[in-house]
Amino acid sequence: MVEINAHMIKELRTRTNAGILDCREALQEAGGDMESAVDFLRKKGLATALKRAGRETSEGLVHSYIHAGGKIGVLVEVNCETDFVAKTEEFREFVKNLAMHIAAAKPFGVRREDIPEEVVRREEEVYRAQAKEMGKPEKVLDKIVQGKVDKFYKESCLMEQQYIKETDLTIEDLIHDMVAKTGENITLRRFVRYRLGGE
């Protein structure tokens, strides 16, 4: 059995912000492997997030971010359970990073249901026409279109987008990590993205 030392715990804490006991447990479970320990903590954070998902989030922040010399602006509302968490530096930094991501990644909406049906239908028609143009057989068209629509959602829904600063995480993963760190339910309520002259 691998001996878990203070240096390993410190490194894992630096990487994940998890508590000392959680880091020790993760390293023991992972046999001292740092990457597996990180995954263990992320999964534990996800379990915590799911448990907290039903709790009311009536506090939080509205943050504004202006980018590209005043050419792009974002307003984002992120909610948490208590004013105490909303006022922490970590939460403020988290919300600011979300606003910066929105400025760069141009999501259509927070979740799939936020994207208007007519937009999705239009995408489906384009994908179907492209597949026919490529001579794909009729029987596989629906499968091809569904695959492309799923990809469209992953690129267009904020929660499903890859986080620009850490592409192995989605925004949903990022929120779950924050839930694990704060011990509170966190909701990305809404956002507005403006670009000078429109997109």
Q: Give the pLDDT score at 79.
A: 94
Q: What is the CATH number of the domain that holds 18?
A: 1.10.8.10
Contacts 24+ apart (CB under 8 A), 84-90: 85/59, 85/182, 85/184, 86/59, 86/60, 86/61, 88/182, 90/17, 90/181, 90/182
Which pLDDT belongs to residue 134?
84
**Does the global pTM surpass 0.75?**
no
To the nearest whole number, what is the mean pLDDT of the chain?
87
Residue 27 within a domain: yes
Least confident of 4-18, 24-38, 62-76, 144-158: 4-18
Residue 133 lies in domain: 116-155
Q: Is the pLDDT of residue 41 over 80?
A: no
Same domain flag for 72 and 150? no
Q: Is 68 exposed, middle or buried (0-12, 13-18, 19+ CB in 10 A)?
A: exposed
Number of structural domains in the chain? 3
pLDDT greater at residue 43 or residue 98: 98
Q: Residue 150: which CATH number?
A: 1.10.286
pLDDT tens string 108-135: 999 999 998 999 999 999 988 888 888 8
Per-residue pLDDT, 84: 93
- What pLDDT is recorded for position 38? 81
The answer as to whether 16 is a domain residue is yes
CATH of the domain at 170: 3.30.479.20
Whether residue 99 is found in the same domain as residue 71: yes
Domain assignment of residue 1, yes or no: no
Q: Do 81 and 19 lie in a common domain?
A: no
